[in-house]
């Protein structure tokens, strides 16, 4: 199968999954629900169903987050298989994104929280001794994230390595589309940092709008997969927020 054939195949699969992502009206409907059981029942009738299959109505927030991270890793692996071979390393690298907050904690903190031991993917690095922890990370796929060379942190290290994984034969147009995506996120987080008190929902809605435009603007390009995965990440971030509120504040959902 040629690269163009791979991209055409990926486009069809991505378009179908893209169509299942909730829109603004769908989110507003879910946000109005105040009981966890009702939320899960309703959300499982939407395109969110695959993300919620392993989340129990009486579970805890750590188990919920573990499940969402696991589902996202599995979906990224699926999308990776759709891509041309030359783009699979860069796509697979996205599976490390859900672990960036945990990685920062493993790298910098002395005490390991109990929830890390409950994540089978992260447990091998949850040594109590920091020296053993760091050595395990250096011997793992996380190694490029430990030091980005300028102290900017794991997110900057992730982005730098992601660019190194782009195939040498990538065209100028393909690279430009990916840089456009990177700029969207850089601008988004710069806005949030500059005004922590602003309406974050509005900022996220604006980012989602641009990501949807980018997804439609770059058909049959490698960037399509990355725009789609970015939208998946935003979807799970929003879903996580709703689930966390309903799990941790039962009195609120009972009122």
**Position 207 pLDDT exceeds 80:** yes
127 φψ region: left (φ > 0), alpha (ψ -120 to 50), beta (else): beta
Q: What is the pLDDT of residues 59-116, one digit of tens each?
A: 789 889 999 999 999 999 999 999 999 999 999 999 999 998 888 888 877 678 888 8
Q: What is the pLDDT of residues 220-246, one digit of tens each?
A: 899 999 999 999 999 999 999 999 999
Q: How far apart are CA 145 and CA 149, in angstroms?
A: 10
| % of residues, the chain, pLDDT over 70 | 93
pLDDT at 150: 59
**Position 195 pLDDT exceeds 50:** yes
Indicate the pTM of the whole model: 0.91
| Half-sphere exposure of residue 53: CA atoms within 13 angstroms, side-chain side | 7
Instruction: Tell me the residue range of the domain where 150 lies.
Output: 3-254
Question: Where does residue 58 rank: exposed (0-12), middle (13-18), buried (19+ CB within 10 A)?
Answer: exposed
With vertex at residue 170, the alpha carbon angle to CA 168 and CA 176, rounded to the nearest 5 degrees, is 125
Question: Where does residue 111 rank: exposed (0-12), middle (13-18), buried (19+ CB within 10 A)?
Answer: exposed
- Residue 64's alpha-carbon distances to 3, 23, 46, 51, 68, in angstroms, are 37, 23, 18, 10, 6
Task: Give me the chain's average pLDDT, please.
Answer: 89
3-state secondary structure of 55: coil
Q: What is the pLDDT of residues 32-69, one digit of tens each?
A: 999 999 999 999 999 999 999 888 888 789 889 999 99
User: How many structural domains does the chain have?
Assistant: 1
Contact 238, 204 (CB under 8 A): yes
């Amino acid at each position: 199968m040629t690269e163009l054939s791979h991209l055409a195949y990926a486009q069809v699969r991505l378009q179908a999954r893209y169509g299942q992502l909730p829109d603004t009206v769908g989110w507003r409907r879910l946000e109005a629900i105040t009981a966890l059981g009702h939320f899960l029942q309703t959300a499982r009738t939407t395109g969110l169903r695959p993300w919620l299959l392993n989340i129990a109505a009486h579970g805890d927030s750590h188990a919920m987050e573990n499940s969402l991270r696991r589902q996202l890793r599995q979906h990224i692996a699926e999308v990776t298989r759709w891509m041309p071979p030359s783009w699979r390393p860069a796509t697979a690298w996205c599976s490390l994104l859900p672990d960036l907050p945990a990685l920062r904690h493993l790298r910098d903190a002395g005490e390991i929280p109990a929830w890390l031991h409950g994540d089978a993917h992260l447990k091998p690095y949850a040594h109590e001794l920091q020296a053993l922890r760091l050595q395990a990370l250096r011997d793992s796929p996380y190694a490029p994230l430990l030091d980005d060379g300028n102290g900017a942190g794991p997110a900057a290290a992730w982005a730098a390595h992601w660019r190194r994984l782009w195939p040498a034969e990538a065209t100028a147009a393909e690279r430009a589309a990916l840089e456009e995506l990177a700029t969207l996120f850089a601008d988004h987080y710069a806005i949030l940092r500059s005004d922590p008190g602003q309406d974050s929902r509005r900022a996220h809605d604006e980012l989602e709008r641009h990501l949807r435009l980018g997804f439609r603007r770059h058909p049959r390009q490698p960037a399509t997969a990355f725009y789609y995965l970015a939208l998946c990440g935003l979807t799970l971030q929003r879903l996580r927020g709703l689930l966390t509120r309903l799990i941790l504040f039962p009195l609120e959902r009972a009122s």
